[in-house]
Amino acid sequence: MRLTLAIAVVVLLAAGTAFSETQQLVAGSLTSQNSTIDTGDTAWVLISAALVMLMTPGLAFFYGGLVRRKNMLSILMQCFMALCIISIQWVVCGYSLSFGPDQRGIIGGLDWTFLNGVGMTPNATYTATVPHEVFMMFQMMFAVITPALIIGAFAERMKFSAFVIFILLWATIVYDPITHWLWGDGGFLKNMGALDFAGGAVVHINAGMTALAAALVLGKRQGYPNGISPPHNLPFAALGAGLLWFGWFGFNAGSALKASGLAGNAFTVTHIAGATAGIVWSVLDWLRFKKPTTLGMITGAVAGLAAVTPASGYITPVGAMWIGVGAGVFPWLVVTCLKTKLGYDDSLDAFGVHGIGGIWGVLATGLWATKAINPDGADGLFYGNPLQLWVQAKAVLFTVIYSFVMGYVLLKFVDVVIKLRVTEHEERVGLDLTQHREAAYTIID
């Protein structure tokens, strides 16, 4: 089994080398047409790619702080391994499936596998002023963090081997097509006019819905809800939330793909929505549970940042406040009230925060979007175009259904093949020791 795997990797790499040699010539002639690199735009997208990359380690600490001591490393390991694996998957086929030449609006072709033709000159379809390779790297970081977000739903009980196989399949079969639908040239939701500036549907709804499927397929952790110890390190969670917030400027403002006024506005509205939702969540905690909590505040901020993501290229600062209010209210309701009533164990609320926040954000884009901010966008309901809300709803519907169903099927498939869940004993001892033979913290010096 292991030998076959090794051979498969070698063959794949060899194929890639042969491939790229034949295609290099074609790429050279294709990209020499009149596209000029803008240094400001390129610098900004490069920096944004690095900012978005930092979000995955940030997420590792956000999630890591919320689990028990015995599972800290398993979270860090899963996040960092997602960074490694999905990066390579992106190079091999992910980028091509997402952004490559359109196949019936559903998926990209295999023309750009192993980054054939993805070079140092711009591809005018996506970015006329930024090297194609830079755009590819920027998008790679989105592909990395999206499966990492799902970890929140199956934390503390999934086998590492199952995790590795699952995210690889999920990135290829779920993430890449959905990315093509909304962002790929010719994608059917994009052609329908659906607005998703930086990934409310592609990233947050997508991760959130598969997260819900994961919570259902894997079942509850032992002892859930009352026998689970509280988060082991909230300062880490706050640090992680801070890194996420910081990285989000690259995520949203970088999605302008230019160092432009639109990028500046995306930067502004991103911050406003995060701040508003942080306040709203705290106030709700204060009213309902007597005290404003640190965890609630940072959770609210993350929900606000997730919700503004699809809207960030189309809304005014006031629109961002309203989206922030909704992002404080709806995820709060699901996380603090609905989850306990329904009894599913979305351990770190990947569905509650990203799924619900994302759905709200994509719908809210259909309410507050305005051409005054982005002439290439559309007007929303509050700017006289109720039809946009319907288009956004369709985008939500397609993403929700595809992500949930395919996520569910893939998890069941991996479960049948190698079992998803660790044994009861391993779960009790903790994943750090049983999956990685390590401990996050020593007790004795």
List residues binding another protein (CB under 8 A): 225-227, 230-231, 285, 288-289, 291, 293, 295-296, 299, 335-337, 340, 349
Q: Give the type of residue at 207.
A: A
Nearer to another protein, 75 or 335 (CB): 335
CB 213 within 8 A of CB 415: no
DSSP run (H or E) holding 129: strand 127-131
DSSP run (H or E) holding 131: strand 127-131
Nearer to another protein, 156 or 176 (CB): 156
Q: Three-class SS of residue 127?
A: strand
CB 436 within 8 A of CB 74: yes
Report the 10 Å Cβ neighbour count for 12.
13
Task: Give 289-332 as a DSSP string.
Answer: HSS--HHHHHHHHHHHHHHHTTTTTT--HHHHHHHHHHHHHHHH
Nearer to another protein, 118 or 348 (CB): 348
Residue identified by tokens 């007007």 is: 379
Q: What token pair was written down for 276?
A: 């508003």
- Terminal CA-CA length for the chain: 41
CB of 224 to another protein, least distance (A): 10
Q: What token pair was written down for 420?
A: 């998803």
Nearest to 313 by CA among 359, 274, 265, 244: 265
DSSP run (H or E) holding 122: strand 122-123
Nearest to 372 by CA among 255, 262, 251: 262
How many residues does the structure list for the chain? 445
Nearer to another protein, 300 or 319 (CB): 300
CB of 149 to another protein, least distance (A): 17
CB of 290 to another protein, least distance (A): 8
Q: Which residues are CB-neighbours of 306 under 8 A, at least 6 positions away?
A: 200, 204, 327, 353, 354, 357, 358, 361
Nearer to another protein, 196 or 285 (CB): 285
Q: Give the type of residue at 217.
A: V
Nearer to another protein, 125 or 340 (CB): 340
Q: What token pair was written down for 313?
A: 């290229």
CB of 226 to another protein, least distance (A): 5
CB of 186 to another protein, least distance (A): 41
Nearer to another protein, 193 or 231 (CB): 231
Torsion of CA 322, 402, 161, 348, to 10 degrees: 20
CB of 335 to another protein, least distance (A): 5
Nearer to another protein, 247 or 296 (CB): 296
CB of 289 to another protein, least distance (A): 5
CB of 292 to another protein, least distance (A): 11
CB of 115 to another protein, least distance (A): 42
Nearer to another protein, 349 or 432 (CB): 349
Nearer to another protein, 345 or 432 (CB): 345
Nearer to another protein, 19 or 224 (CB): 224
CB 104 within 8 A of CB 189: no
Q: What token pair was written down for 261?
A: 């006024």
CB of 340 to another protein, least distance (A): 7
Spatial separation of the C-alpha atoms in residues 351 and 214, rounded to whole Å: 10
Spatial separation of the C-alpha atoms in residues 193 and 394, rounded to whole Å: 10
